[in-house]
Structure 1
Amino acid sequence: MLLKRMIGEKNTLSVEHGRNIWPVRADVVQLEQVIINLVVNARDAMPNGGSILIRTANVTEGEAASLKFDGMTPADYVLIDVEDTGTGMSPEIIQKIFEPFFTTKELGKGTGLGLSTVYGIVKQTEGFIYPVSTVGVGTTFKIFLPRYVPTVEEVNAKALAAAAPVKDLTGQERILLVEDEESVRAFSARALKATGYEVFEADSGEDALFVLEDLDYKVDLIISDVVMPEMDGPTMLKAIRGKMTNLKIIFVSGYAEESVRRDIEDDQSVDFLPKPYSLDQINSKVKEVLQRQDKEH
């Protein structure tokens, strides 16, 4: 449902699942973020509309060996294909697409961190991702995730974890989410709304100022990307600090916390969340910051 809403009416989305797909070991929310990101990119590559196909299949060790993808060791994998009928990419662009900040979008339309985040998540899962593209025909991103066979110890540990008390990550506070990458924003908003928060969204620092004005500056927490076109996170914070003296803010960044903090002159009540993050990490951080705020009051 989320993907269909994001691709608009000009495009069609279909899913073809293989039979008896093997399990993989991955953070389900990060994996969703990968799919959302690739589908948004596919949509952007089809300005006049087109079709997107998501396909899954098991790939045996023998089949993997015959594929000859650079750097991929032969093993059992689960393959996820995200295929579009878009403009395609030249070999020169394909070489650069996973570099941080590389983007084919016009200035002010996203920082290009989407695919480098996708690459990071797939690598973290010990998987591989390869783009196969023909200019004028379309692109397929092929994601190979290693087949997961649980050990006896892991099966037992899972049973124990299931019996453990669940921590309460729910809340009703108002949160403003500021993020220029549409796929990351959609994923984060959904994660927070699912636990009960009232979430407002802005796609830039400037947009956040308008949203805050509309809300009469009544939000309990702002979660903002640091690097954004036009107005970045620290500049936005400076602009609103006068109106929101007790503001709590969580900055999100793919950079190390120390380098981000150097750019923030006023770091009172500034918290930090590294990118990419899981559903549990963002909800735990939000709960921690809001609970601390309650104690201070």
Structure 2
Amino acid sequence: MRRLLKWSTWRRGGNNAAETSMIVAVAALAVPLLLFVGASWIAYGDNQREADERMTRTLDLLYNNVRATFDSNQLVIANVIGQLDDYASEADIRSNAEKIHERMNRLVESLPQVENVWVLDAAGNALVSAKIYPLPAGLNFADRAYFRTLRDGSSTRTISQVLRGRLKDIDYFDVAQRWRSPDGHFDGVIAVSIRLSYFVDQFKRASDSPLSTASLVRDDGTFLARYPDPPLIRQLGPDSGFMQEIQRHPEQGRYTTQSSGSDSVARFFVYRRLPDLPLYVLHGYALETIRATWIGRMGLHLIFGVPATLALFFLALLASRRAVQQSQTLDQLHEEQARRQLAEESLRQSQKMNAVGQLTAGIAHDFNNLLTGIGGALEMIGRRLPDPAPEIARFLELARSGVMRAATLTQRLLAFSRQQPLQIEAIDANRVVSGMSELLRRTLGEKISIETILAGGLWRAKADAAQLEAAILNLAINGRDAMPDGGTLTIETANAHLDDGYAAANVEVSPGQYVLIAVSDTGSGMDGDTITRAFEPFFTTKQRGQGTGLGLSMTFGYIKQVGGHLKIYSEIGHGTTVKLYLPRAMAEMQAAIEPVAQPATAVGGGPVVLVVEDDPAVRDFAVAACREVGCTVYQAANGEEALAVLAVRQEIDLLFTDIGLPGEMNGRQMAEHAIERRPTLKVLYTTGYTANAIVHHGVLDAGVNFIGKPFSVAALAAKIRSMGF
């Protein structure tokens, strides 16, 4: 006995102290590590946002410069055509070539991007040049692709690929426009030659990073200019990231791909198309730059954080050793006291059991009557004294507390004597449901198909088994009466957790762990008014003589008596689900306590969500829950309003919708319309029905993204993450 006592005392004192100290030591490492990981995640997101803003500003600068350049080129072409209109014929132009050359030269001498301006006749022969006079004999451009395109009439304006000068050894491209007579006859081509070096210099000045790039690309993937170096590939293939992205978003967009330049760096690109031109301005930012900035920022934290964390860890280890030594010393001092307490407790327990056995049968009834009289008298005194003096109020409260404690003691005495109206014990809900299967089949008849879905690893529940069977039978009979032509009754079990948010929204619900028994039917369903009155005594929707209206009332009272919760979800035409939440048996909780990981507070970075829910209270909670996990949230009350929001809010990534919605479209039909318009949109459904009942009743196909009501903030966050956000 003495050895057993020493061992148990050491285990209870010294070992607990050691475990506590070790937990503190581990926490000294784990908490800073978790904080560092969280800070790293936030910092990386900040770096990405900063890089995105920097890229957007740079692209705006590049776009405005390039657009201004091409606008100037177009004005040059228009001015040259205006000059040529002053001459009646081609021969007249040739005879005045020097005069036209001088006017054209003055026109472009202040434009650094213009290498030359050419006037070509219908055969491709050079008539006039802005920078060269006189022209070499026999200079012909009919072999140029842009000339053939304009001559053949397939386009009025075109932009050539990169060309090599015939008179000067430079790279350029031509912006060419058809030159027509007033009657529409093809007279030739006006071509403005643009230096590639001009755009390279512009791109270089706008560069904000050593690995950033800027490019001017035609819509067929042909590069015209690029900084910092010319691409190894002059034209992008149809399977490249750029060509695929402009098919989806032809005006502007962004994508990530391996650079086609000689450096082969992975970059994030943004692009924008020039108005009325088949040209795109691209800006690329190296992902390596974002990571390098992030690593440099977090490295500073490591320099100061690692020594402090290690010092804290070793101090915790030292404290752990000292705590164990102190605990062992205290165990030795209290060994004799613990032995005496153990003996006294055994004697006290024996005496109490004997006293209960002798007193309960004869005294409990009279004692309850006395307590009723005392409690009633105290209540009447309280009513007669609505505003008693503070001292009187304190004594009244002491008396009421005494009555309550005495009543609790009486109930415990009755429990010991097995005269309690409810025999509450830890039960196996799976065994209760399985044992009722045959009874339910005989009671409900052949028209009703019964499905039981029993969860593995189900907790034990605190309940009276007989009363629980009666409650399930009552719900099954109600389901049968709601399906006069037959249907499916689904009974499910599951472990459940009702969080603080759900408890705050539902009166008399305590947050914690529960065992769920859900009874679902495919009957006619109930409207909102019927659900509100469903628990009222003697209220029934059945015909006279077919029901007393006490079934749900008795079930509700029983569930509340054992500390549980009952919730009804129903939709007209789709059936009803009644969920019974029984408190988890505390004996099991004490036998297998495990640390519960607390969910991290959301810090942003989640998807943009549209919440569609017709019930205002549920919609408010869903919006608050989405915001709690870091989402940007829009909301709608029905399908028509949701589609209108989606039409104007292109940034929405996730549609979170109730299946049962008012109006012409339910949630599933509304989601189908939304996906037809935006195939990349992801959808998450919710409803009061259980997931298995939904699938088996044919409301949704298996494999859809679904979360049942009630849902917690942590469960919603996990579901959104599982969808890839």
* TM-score (normalised: structure 1): 0.48
* TM-score (normalised: structure 2): 0.22
More helix per residue: 1 or 2? 2
**Rg comparison, structure with higher value:** 2
Q: Between the two structures, name the one with larger relative contact order (CA 8 Å, sep ≥ 6).
A: 1
